[in-house]
């Protein structure tokens, strides 16, 4: 999927994408909060319209959400997350993979919570708790493993 600016070309009307994520590395916690208590779409600065990038979509029976913001990279510790949820081989099991910014810590996580709206199957919520994410490659800064907690609410804007 291509990366789309916030609003997906709809006169900067934000799509329904909100989320919070916490990456715990030992005693250190890094935060990314894109909404107002998870109740509203992500905030953006009209003078710098490309600060926030979001992309969300439904592929088959899976849901993917990307939330990226380069300017907050130094302030927040990591600048973006990608969550993907899809059916595992067992129809009753859902797996989530999480990818976090430049350090590319990723893992396949059990989905803690998933809902879809009755009126719109392309709108849903995903959450994972205490998912272990790892860096599969040698990392000079020693960032190898962390715990990832996230909640994301999304509505399809790009397929």
CATH of the domain at 60: 2.40.128
Strand partners, 149: 22
Number of structural domains the chain divides into = 1
Please give the Cα distance from 106 to 83 (Å, whole number).
10
Residue numbers of the domain that contains 69 = 18-155
Does 13 fall in a domain? no
- pLDDT tens for the chain, 159 residues long, are 444 333 344 444 444 556 777 777 777 777 666 654 443 334 434 444 445 555 566 566 666 666 666 555 555 555 667 777 665 555 555 666 676 666 677 887 777 766 665 555 556 677 888 888 887 777 666 567 888 888 777 665 543
Does 12 fall in a domain? no
Does 3 fall in a domain? no
pTM above 0.95, yes or no: no
Please give the Cα distance from 123 to 69 (Å, whole number).
22
Does 9 fall in a domain? no
SS3 117: coil
Query: Alpha carbon of 128 to those of 17, 71, 94: distances in Å?
Result: 16, 26, 11
How many residues are there in the chain?
Answer: 159
pLDDT of residue 52: 52
């Amino acid at each position: 999927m291509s990366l789309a600016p916030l609003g997906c070309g709809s006169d900067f009307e934000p799509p329904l994408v909100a989320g919070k994520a916490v990456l715990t590395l030992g005693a250190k916690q890094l935060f990314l909060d894109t909404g107002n208590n998870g109740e509203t779409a992500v905030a953006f600065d009209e003078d710098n319209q490309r600060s926030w990038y979001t992309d969300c979509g439904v592929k088959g029976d899976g849901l993917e959400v990307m939330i990226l913001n380069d300017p907050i990279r130094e302030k927040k510790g990591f600048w973006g997350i990608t969550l993907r949820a899809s059916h595992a081989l067992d129809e009753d099991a859902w797996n989530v993979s999480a990818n976090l910014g430049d350090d590319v810590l990723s893992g396949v996580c059990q989905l803690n919570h998933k809902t879809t709206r009755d009126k719109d199957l392309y709108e849903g919520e995903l959450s994972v708790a205490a998912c272990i994410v790892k860096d599969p490659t040698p990392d000079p800064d020693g960032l190898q493993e962390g715990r990832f907690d996230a909640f994301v609410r999304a509505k399809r804007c790009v397929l």
